[in-house]
Amino acid sequence: MGTANAASNMTVTYKDDVSTLDPAIGYDWQNWSMIKSLFDSLLDYKPGTTELTPDLAESYTISDDGLIYTFNLRKGVKFHNGRTMTAADVKYSLDRVTNPKTQSPGAGFFASVKGFDDASSGSGSLSGVSVVDDYTVQIELSRPDATFLHVVAINFASVVPREAVEKWGEDFGKHPVGTGAFYLDEWTLGQRLVFKKNQNYYHAGIPKLDQITFEVGQEPIVALLRLQNGEVDIAGDGIPPAKFLEVKNDPKYAGAIVEGSQLHTGYIALNVKMKPFDNLKVRQAVNMAINKDRIVRIINGRAVSANQPLPPLMPGYDPDYKGLSYNPDAAKKLLAEAGFGDGFETELYVANTDPQPRIAQAIQQDLAAIGIKAGIKSLAQGNVIAAGGEVDQAPMIWSGGMAWIADFPDPSNFYGPILGCGGAVPGGWNWSWYCNESIEKRAIAADSMTDPADAEKRMAAWRSIFTDIQDEAPWVPIFNEQRFTMRSDRLDGPDGIFVDPVHIPVHYDQVFIKEGQ
């Protein structure tokens, strides 16, 4: 590995303006990783992995009942404005993100913290967070939550300085002040953002670049041309689908494209509250009717086919699970057993942006082969989400373009909102409306195993939860999307940081410029 050059700069392009850099608000894949470079949380992930590692907290202890987390903060960490970060800042930041006035889309992640209900209704504050001394924070939970360490690593838990937030008010997202590896030096609306190296950063040798320039407003196709021309280092929106095969098969760019997995599953949700999908055999028949490999080919092989809800990158994935494989004849037999020997008519909801309607057509053809006539309802994304949130609207939904990418690398995040009873409510994201009380109990039990020594046992519990769910077939898991990052010749660093599972598209803190470039 080389070292960074004297004044190294990387240029990254995006189509859309950056919405906000306020860590309590930002929740799109574009600002997610930018915020990670400007701010820090108590914990972080080892670059290129899903493994937690201490960050602003040097160490932590968990009480035996799993309810009290004590974090010992790193000393001498400075905000970009020069002030030293202390435990009071951690408390302030968590109070702020759960305060309804902040309108944080991530407030719900802190639901297990004591006092959350008072805080979110505006009648009190997050009483579970207390400052023990300047460098010790204690967080008390109202129920054991094994995912809590992921929660304090998420962007919404970033530590922000009160004086800067109060100074800028609603414009804090345009004038972010954090403790991160970079600070925001310039933001010209609609044109560019410039991140400069934080010279006082507490991780030695990080960041490796002196500057990152984000140019916004560039169509992906234009960004690709500029990348091929050597004017840009990373096209943030990725390789446009229409050019994907051409670029991928061009030997000139063989070393430039890095492939990695992500915490994503594309699936068909079968509404178990609507006929005839209330019948297990019908759901199994649909599972066996879909030719997943063909769908993967439709998107130029940018995915791997799936047989269970969890993606392979997620801890708890079961590599030995067979699931229901493609077998139209067996599917027809199952349909006949269920009393639908002549098939039936239904509807498939799908987002109307390419390639989703093409995928829906493939599904439609596969279903037709076993006698199911599915009409395609191709709607704006928001309308499909709204239909899925109603119990009697959408019998089938193809999730492409909408769901589900995990917020953090823990199997629990693939259950609660999308397969658990909590998500099977009006406006929820559990579009199959699957709610199994016994599974729900097992999920709560698994998330109560907070002792790190029980981690293996907990993963085993989640593994069987997901395979048991899949045996009931509320979903047809179709594929897990792969990520492809194309980088310029100048950039260097381990492959993992270019397809980092948490920092998308690349881990900005870790990238460096090749020597002599």
Residue in 34, 107, 184, 285 binding other proteins, rule: CB under 8 A: 107
The answer to whether the CB of 265 falls within 8 A of the CB of 303 is no
> Distance between CA 93 and CA 355 in Å, rounded?
40
Binding to other proteins by residue 22, rule CB under 8 A? yes
Please tell me whether residue 336 binds other proteins under the rule CB under 8 A.
no
By the rule CB under 8 A, 24 interacts with other proteins: no
Q: Which stretch binds other proteins (CB under 8 A): 61-69, 105-113, 244-252, 275-283?
A: 105-113
- Can you list the positions of beta strands (E) in 419-474? none
**Closest distance between other proteins and the C-beta of residue 483, in Å?**
20
Collapsing DSSP states into helix, strand and coil, what is residue 54? strand
Q: d(Cα 284, Cα 273) in Å, to the nearest integer?
A: 15
Tokens 């949700």: give the residue: 269
Whether the Cβ atoms of residue 262 and residue 313 lie closer than 8 Å to each other: yes
**Would you state the structure tokens that stand for residue 222, as one six-digit string?**
């234009």
Q: Could you tell me the smallest distance in angstroms from the CB atom of residue 420 to other proteins?
A: 13
CB of 141 to other proteins, least distance (A): 17
Among 108, 124, 241, 452, binds other proteins (CB under 8 A): 108
Asked if 347 contacts 357 with a C-beta cutoff of 8 angstroms, the reply is: no
Q: Which of 66, 106, 207, 400 is in the footprint of other proteins by CB under 8 A?
A: 106
Residue 417 in contact with other proteins, rule: CB under 8 A: yes
Distance of CA 402 to the CA centre of its chain: 12
Among positive and negative, which fits the CA dihedral 120, 123, 126, 127?
Answer: negative
Q: Which stretch binds other proteins (CB under 8 A): 120-128, 143-151, 369-377, 509-517?
A: 120-128
**In the bound complex, what is the minimum distance in angstroms from residue 27's beta carbon to other proteins?**
5
Residue type, 279: N
Per CB under 8 A, does 20 bind other proteins? Answer: yes
- Residues 368, 287 contacting (CB under 8 angstroms): no
CB 412 within 8 A of CB 419: no
User: Of 512, 498, 506, 508, which is closest to residue 2 (Cα–Cα)?
Assistant: 512
CA-wise closest residue to 298 among 40, 481, 492, 506 = 481
Residues 191-210 that bind other proteins (CB under 8 A): 191
| 407 touches other proteins by CB under 8 A | yes
Which range of residues in 116-124, 327-335, 432-440, 448-456 is near other proteins by CB under 8 A?
A: 116-124
Cis before 176? omega within 30: no
Is residue 395 at the binding interface for other proteins, with CB under 8 A as the rule?
no
Return the closest-CA partner of residue 270 out of 394, 132, 449, 124.
Answer: 394
CA distance linking residue 142 with residue 464, whole number of Å: 27
372 DSSP β-pair partners: 344
Residue from 183, 429, 433, 479 touching other proteins (CB under 8 A): that is: 429
383 interacts with other proteins by CB under 8 A: yes
Between 19 and 59, CB nearer to other proteins: 19
Q: How far is the CB of 42 from other proteins (least distance, A)?
A: 19
Our finding on whether 173 is near other proteins (CB under 8 A) is yes
Contact stretch for other proteins (CB under 8 A) within 74-82, 203-211, 420-428, 431-439: 420-428
Question: 413 near 154, Cβ under 8 Å?
Answer: no
Q: Closer CB to other proteins, residue 34 or residue 372?
A: 34
Q: 């029980």: which residue's tokens?
A: 454
Q: Smaller CB distance to other proteins: residue 270 or 385?
A: 385
Q: Report the alpha-carbon distance of residue 455 to residue 450 in Å, rounded.
A: 8
Q: Using CA atoms in the order 105, 141, 422, 453, what is the torsion angle rounded to 10 degrees?
A: 110
Q: Which of 7, 368, 425, 444 binds other proteins (CB under 8 A)?
A: 425
82 exposure class (CB count in 10 Å sphere: 0-12, 13-18, 19+): exposed
- Minimal distance in Å, beta carbon 353 to other proteins? 10
Q: Distances in Å between the alpha carbon of 17 and those of 11, 30, 67, 212, 487?
A: 15, 9, 41, 16, 21
Q: Look up tokens 């392979």; give the residue.
A: 312
Nearer to other proteins, 378 or 381 (CB): 381
User: Kind of pairing, strands 211-216 and 9-14?
Assistant: parallel
State the minimum distance, in angstroms, from the CB of residue 225 to other proteins.
5
Backbone angles phi and psi of 507, in degrees to 5: -80, 95
Convert residues 46-85 into a mask of x (bound to other proteins by CB under 8 A) and - (unbound): ----------------------------------------
Site string for other proteins, 206-245 (x = CB under 8 A): ---------x-xxx-xx--xx--x-x--------------
Closest to other proteins by CB, 410 or 509: 410
Beta bridge partners of residue 513, listed in sequence order: 491
Residue 120 binds other proteins (CB under 8 A): yes
Choices 50-58, 170-178, 205-213, 358-366; region in contact with other proteins by CB under 8 A: 170-178
**Is 438 a residue that touches other proteins (CB under 8 A)?**
no
Task: Tell me whether residue 25 or residue 473 sits nearer to other proteins (CB atom).
Answer: 25
Please report whether residue 246 would count as binding other proteins according to CB under 8 A. Answer: no
Q: Are 34 and 18 in contact (CB under 8 A)?
A: yes
**Residue among 216 and 362 whose Cβ is closer to other proteins:** 216
Q: Under the rule (CB under 8 A), what is the footprint of other proteins?
A: 16-17, 19-20, 22, 25, 27, 100-101, 103, 105-109, 111, 120-122, 170-171, 173-174, 188-191, 215, 217-219, 221-222, 225-226, 229, 231, 380-383, 385-386, 403, 407, 417, 425-427, 429
